[in-house]
Structure 1
């Protein structure tokens, strides 16, 4: 029996595309504008990261989470040796590694970030929060670099890492209430909570005080500075990738303004960028 490999790999990428469409419409909206080979590579990388996330999110005890993450780590080890599991995700990733000059280290960093999440400790300061963010999100930026900045004349690893950190900080600032209510987690740095005199009691009550707003803005400004630094380096990215990458950054940064418009209510509502606002931000990226 002759296997149509092109048909099989198309099906593998379709599996990955379905995952990004289901879990992140904004990323799919941005990266689907890439040339086909690059878009499909992004879908495969996203599917890996989603699988890593699900190892933690879909298991409700740390023991089960570690078992799932150990299994994924073992599969990545086999992939690194060219002995990948016969599964759509790994077959698609193998094709990505064959087509692009990929670095496997950020994939391991992503799994390190997931382990940090399992053994979660509230960050003591902004530096420790950014270290955590570097692993869970900065690693994603570095995974994507060989695809979207294949002809860069400078090392963009730090730039890509900082974009990931900015996006993770944005997630944290959007989900303050949800993280505490549903996961019992405080990602706001303890040092900043003490500096702005905002206690866990206030957090548990969802109090939006002047001090909370000042602390939130301090962290948001840090994220916005990282977004701005990334934007200054957009010319180093492949010409066919600049618009999708920049539009995704603008849309994600727009979440911060959506929180501001809600009166900083990141306790009782899910703040997101509306379709109209998203269109404006994407148009801004094309200017």
Structure 2
């Protein structure tokens, strides 16, 4: 059984490093909330191996992640309370080994890979770094209609991560020398890497950002469409998380797509306001898609200039 100290440690990690996700997590039922703290802490622990390098060589990073893999899968004793708790939850909720492998493989990719030629290539990375996370969450919720829910959970996990990528363009360049915007999207709109390194926002960069925002909003629509397949007591928390993450798009557009001079972030006041608004509509209508339409800033209208704003590749989930 996962110990109270392990849950407390995991909760502290989420509260400190994932404020938006933590805000929504607190609304999950206790049976799912505590497991979610552990999942998030495990994800963050692995992520920090490649994001917060303290003199480790790539070989040392890979060795540490491979040790995490073995411990998470229960192949050897865990030397960290979070890893021990995750291994227990993986067994309890029958989380597929394949999702653990996909996640660790994505973290390994971050050690050496910092650019993505196409969205399809980025999507393969996100299958481990984001979609696998959504699938694990579906498992700990003990979703009866998992077969129907999983494709939508995959899309929603990708949507959350894409919103983070679009919000964090400057931070990823400055702190990690990574560019997650697909190179094909940048080239299509005439944006060079040198321009990004100069943190120069112009109409070309705005067009590239809008193309990826539109693609990501299609993922939100797909993801939210599957919330109805989740257990009733989990639906509102997941819906609110979608509303909160998608609201970063409002911030980006309000800044006229300038995410190169600063990283936009949601204020606590805004999160509370969205919670109140979403809760009010949820009281009257338990349809996640209908509430998302009313509350979120995601537009359900096609852009007027479809050739400029709609990307050629729209993932089918």
- TM-score by length of structure 1 reads 0.89
- Contact 2:38 2:86 (C-alpha < 8 Å) held by counterparts: yes
Q: Structure 1 pair 189/97, CA: closer, same or farther in 2 (3 Å)?
A: closer
- Contact 1:59 1:65 (C-alpha < 8 Å) held by counterparts: no
Query: Is residue 2:78 matched to residue 1:85?
Result: yes
Which structure 1 residue ranges, 5 or more long, are not aligned? 1-5
Q: For the residues of structure 1 that align with 2:172 and 2:86, how far apart are their CA atoms?
A: 31
Q: For the residues of structure 2 that align with 1:272 and 1:223, how far apart are their CA atoms?
A: 18
Aligned to 1:22: 16
Aligned to 1:3: none
Aligned to 2:289: none
Q: For the residues of structure 1 that align with 2:164 and 2:196, how far apart are their CA atoms?
A: 17
How do 1:72-111 and structure 2 match up within 5 A?
A: 72-81=65-74, 83-111=76-104
2:199 to 187, 198, 206: 206
- Contact 1:149 1:236 (C-alpha < 8 Å) held by counterparts: no
Query: Is residue 2:29 matched to residue 1:11?
Result: no
Deviation at 1:82, TM superposition (A): 5.7
How do 1:171-210 and structure 2 match up within 5 A?
A: 171-210=164-203
Deviation at 1:278, TM superposition (A): 1.5
Q: For the residues of structure 2 that align with 1:53 and 1:64, how far apart are their CA atoms?
A: 15
Deviation at 1:124, TM superposition (A): 1.0
1:249 to 230, 242, 261: 242
Aligned to 2:266: 273
Aligned to 1:229: 222
- Contact 1:55 1:65 (C-alpha < 8 Å) held by counterparts: no
Q: For the residues of structure 2 that align with 1:257 and 1:18, how far apart are their CA atoms?
A: 29
Aligned to 2:120: 127
Aligned length: 280
Q: For the residues of structure 2 that align with 1:189 and 1:247, how far apart are their CA atoms?
A: 28
1:50 to 31, 44, 69: 44
Query: Is residue 2:233 matched to residue 1:240?
Result: yes
- Contact 1:174 1:255 (C-alpha < 8 Å) held by counterparts: yes
Q: Structure 1 pair 73/195, CA: closer, same or farther in 2 (3 Å)?
A: same
CA RMSD of aligned residues (A): 2.1
Q: Structure 1 pair 224/153, CA: closer, same or farther in 2 (3 Å)?
A: same
Which structure 2 residue ranges, 5 or more long, are not aligned? 283-317
* Other structure's SS at 1:271 match: coil
